[in-house]
């Protein structure tokens, strides 16, 4: 324990059976249930069994050409996407990034931002400029959204990269969301942070990063974000960037966004190196209009998702969808070790 109130608790069980692969000898298989130190949610870790197929990246079937033209490709993206009353020209361009309101909004204010004019982008082709420009466009939109709806909104940035990660449009894009109601995860984080401060008088995320690095799940410390593979993952290859100061997403400075993009490009490269081609990411922070004890620094979470391929198998089973508990065979300690080389020059 890093001299703080973080407690990494887990329970271990040995499941016994007679194994047909070795003449029905008695075998045991270890199961570890890890408990998240902030929210108390749980994750189930198994020995490696290839739950996420990482061998087919090179053969992953390219997505079929869309039956209808892609509305996120030029020139349609300039002609056929909605305009927002919040933006002077209805949309917002930052470098190659182009932001417009979502035709199917998730939240009170809901925008889509394409990373690039390219319809298909391998994880290795992302660079920090592209990612930073898209995050900046989202930050600008969220800033206007929050200002337009006093006393304020809860803001989120998320992305589903590839259809096997849930994206309905193959063209790489990120979404900026702002709503009077926080996402369930954000509310639970704020609850946990407030309870931790009341119990210990300390800031949870500061203590978390120290404790994760002490437990060999730290990946790298950048200028404004620390990268970890958290103790109790939400999905395979879960990695997390944790900011140092409580700050809402719409309050992020350009240099913080650039630092985050630098780390994210490295994670994308590391993912691709081990064979991951699809992912989800979600970026949240304590809202600017909530009480000080519920504010927390920006936290960006990334998890790997299955390939788009003929052997596709959803990684969302009854355990995840109905049991609210991810079952995983990648250990966070190994994830951290596997991603550290991408940050070796820092
Ligand atoms: Zn496209």
Please check whether residues 177 and 36 belong to one and the same domain: no
313 C-alpha to ligand 1 centroid (Å) = 25
Please check whether residues 314 and 207 belong to one and the same domain: yes
42 C-alpha to ligand 1 centroid (Å) = 38
Please check whether residues 269 and 122 belong to one and the same domain: yes
137 C-alpha to ligand 1 centroid (Å) = 19
Please check whether residues 82 and 37 belong to one and the same domain: no
What's the pTM? Answer: 0.94
CB 89 within 8 A of CB 193: no
76 C-alpha to ligand 1 centroid (Å) = 9
159 C-alpha to ligand 1 centroid (Å) = 16
293 C-alpha to ligand 1 centroid (Å) = 43
Please check whether residues 184 and 38 belong to one and the same domain: no
Please check whether residues 248 and 200 belong to one and the same domain: yes
Number of folded domains that form the chain: 2
- The reported pLDDT for the residue numbered 104 is 93
CA–CA separation, 161 vs 53, rounded Å?
17
Q: Give 118's DSSP letter.
A: -
Q: Which segments of the chain have a pLDDT < 50? A: 1-2
Tell me the angle at which helices 184-200 and 204-214 cross, rounded to the nearest 10 degrees. Answer: 90
103 C-alpha to ligand 1 centroid (Å) = 16
Please report which residue ranges of 81-232 form alpha helices under DSSP H: 128-148, 184-200, 204-214
Domain span at residue 22? 9-45
CB 242 within 8 A of CB 205: yes
100 C-alpha to ligand 1 centroid (Å) = 15
132 C-alpha to ligand 1 centroid (Å) = 20
């Amino acid at each position: 324990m890093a001299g703080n109130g973080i407690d990494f608790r887990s329970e271990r069980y040995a499941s016994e059976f007679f194994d047909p692969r070795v003449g029905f000898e008695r075998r045991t298989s270890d199961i570890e249930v890890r408990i998240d130190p902030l929210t108390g949610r749980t994750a189930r870790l198994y020995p490696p069994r290839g739950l996420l197929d990482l061998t087919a990246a090179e053969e992953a079937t390219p997505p079929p050409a869309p039956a209808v033209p892609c509305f996120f490709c030029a020139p349609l993206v300039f002609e056929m996407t909605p305009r927002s009353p919040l933006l002077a020209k209805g949309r917002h361009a930052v470098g190659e990034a182009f932001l417009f309101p979502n035709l199917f909004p998730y939240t009170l204010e809901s925008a889509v931002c394409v990373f690039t004019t390219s319809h298909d982008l391998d994880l290795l082709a992302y660079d920090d400029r592209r990612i930073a420009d898209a995050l900046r466009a989202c930050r600008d939109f969220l800033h206007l959204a929050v200002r337009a709806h006093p006393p304020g909104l809860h803001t989120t940035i998320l992305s589903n990269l590839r259809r096997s990660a849930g994206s309905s449009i193959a063209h790489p894009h990120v979404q900026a969301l702002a709503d009077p109601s926080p996402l369930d995860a954000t509310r639970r984080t704020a609850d946990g942070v407030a309870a931790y401060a009341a119990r210990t008088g300390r800031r949870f995320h500061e203590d978390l990063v120290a404790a994760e690095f002490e437990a060999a799940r730290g990946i790298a410390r950048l200028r404004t974000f620390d990268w970890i593979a958290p103790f109790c993952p939400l999905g395979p290859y879960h990695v997390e960037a944790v900011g140092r100061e409580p700050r809402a997403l719409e309050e992020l400075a350009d240099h913080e966004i650039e630092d985050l993009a630098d780390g994210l490009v490295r994670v994308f490269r590391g993912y691709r190196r081990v064979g991951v081609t699809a992912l989800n990411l979600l970026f949240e922070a304590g809202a600017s209009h909530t009480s000080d004890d519920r504010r927390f620094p920006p936290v960006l979470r990334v998890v790997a998702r299955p390939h788009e391929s003929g052997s596709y198998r959803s990684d969302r089973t009854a355990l995840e969808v109905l049991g609210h508990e991810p079952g995983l065979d990648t250990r966070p300690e190994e994830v951290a070790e596997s991603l550290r080389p991408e940050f070796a020059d820092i």
